[in-house]
Amino acid sequence: MVTDRRDFLVNGIQVACSLSLLGLMKESALRKGKVGGKLPLERTLVVVQLSGGNDGLNMLVPHRQDAYYRARPTLALGRDRLHALGRGFGLHPQMGALARLFEAGKVAAIHGVGYPIPNRSHFRSMEIWHTADPVNRVRDHGWLGKLLDRSCEDPARASMGAIHVGGREIPLALRGETSDPTAITDARGLQLRELQGFASLRNGMTGSRTGEARESAYLRAVAEQSYRVSTRFSRAFERSEKADTPGYGLAQRLRLVAGLIEAGFGLRVLHLELTGFDTHAQQGRLHGALLEELSESLSAFQLDLEARGIDDRVSTLVFSEFGRRAAENGSRGTDHGAAGPVLLVGSRVRPGLHGTPPDLEALQDGDVPFTTDFRSIYTAVEKDWMGVQTSMDLRPMELFV
Partner 1 sequence: MLRPWQPRPGEWNDQAATHLLRRAGFGPKKGQVRQMLELGLSGAVETVLTTDTHAEELYRGIEPLLAQGEVSTLQAWWMALILAGGAPLRERTALCWHNHFATSFDKVDDVRLMHRQNELFRREGLGDFRRLLHAVARDTAMLLWLDGGDNLKSHPNENFAREVMELFGLGIGNYTEGDVLEAARGFTGWGTRGRSSVFREKHHDAGMKEVLGMKGTLDAADVIDAVLDHPACARHVAHRLLKEFVAPRPRQEWVDALAEELISNRWDIGATLATLFASTLFFSDEVRRARIASPVELMAFSVRALGVPFAPKRAAQLCAEMGQALFRPPNVKGWDGHEAWVNVGTWIARHNAMVEVAEAKRSTIDSDAPRHATAEAMREELLANVHTPQLDDAVGRALAEAADTPTSIAVAAALVLTSPEFHLV
Residue 301, phi then psi, degrees to nearest 5: -65, -45
| Closer residue to partner 1, CB minimum distance, 79 or 122 | 122
The nearest distance, CB 174 to partner 1, in angstroms, is: 10
| Closer residue to partner 1, CB minimum distance, 98 or 261 | 261
| Closer residue to partner 1, CB minimum distance, 283 or 302 | 283
The nearest distance, CB 118 to partner 1, in angstroms, is: 10
Is the CB of residue 160 less than 8 Å from the CB of residue 151? Answer: yes
83-87: Cβ within 8 A, 24+ apart = 85/60, 85/109, 85/353, 86/353, 87/353, 87/357
Q: Give Cα 390 distance to the centre of its chain.
A: 18
Burial class (CB in 10 A: 0-12, 13-18, 19+), 153: middle
| Closer residue to partner 1, CB minimum distance, 100 or 280 | 280
Phi-psi region of 166 (alpha: psi -120 to 50; beta: other; left: phi over 0): left
The nearest distance, CB 290 to partner 1, in angstroms, is: 13
Count H helices, E strands: the chain? 12, 12
Q: Give Cα 219 distance to the centre of its chain.
A: 27
Q: Count other Cβ atoms within 10 Å, centred on residue 277.
A: 26
Is the CB of residue 164 less than 8 Å from the CB of residue 148? Answer: no
Q: In Å, how far are 12, 165, 187, 279 from 18, measured between CA atoms?
A: 10, 20, 20, 43
Q: In Å, how far are 88, 113, 117, 356 from 66, measured between CA atoms?
A: 11, 22, 27, 18
The nearest distance, CB 254 to partner 1, in angstroms, is: 18
Give just the sign of the alpha carbon dihedral 127, 61, 101, 103: positive
The nearest distance, CB 289 to partner 1, in angstroms, is: 14
The nearest distance, CB 230 to partner 1, in angstroms, is: 6
- Please report, as ranges, the residues that interact with partner 1 according to CB under 8 A: 22-23, 51, 120-124, 137, 167-170, 181-185, 189-198, 201-202, 204-205, 209, 213, 215-216, 218-220, 222-223, 225-227, 229-230, 275-276, 278, 280-281, 329-331, 333, 335-336
| Closer residue to partner 1, CB minimum distance, 23 or 358 | 23
Q: In Å, how far are 191, 227, 234, 260 from 186, measured between CA atoms?
A: 11, 17, 11, 12
| Closer residue to partner 1, CB minimum distance, 263 or 300 | 263
Is the CB of residue 286 less than 8 Å from the CB of residue 75? Answer: no
| Closer residue to partner 1, CB minimum distance, 121 or 356 | 121
Is the CB of residue 262 less than 8 Å from the CB of residue 310? Answer: yes
Residue 27, phi then psi, degrees to nearest 5: -55, -35
| Closer residue to partner 1, CB minimum distance, 169 or 393 | 169
The nearest distance, CB 73 to partner 1, in angstroms, is: 13
The nearest distance, CB 337 to partner 1, in angstroms, is: 11
| Closer residue to partner 1, CB minimum distance, 43 or 202 | 202
The nearest distance, CB 345 to partner 1, in angstroms, is: 26
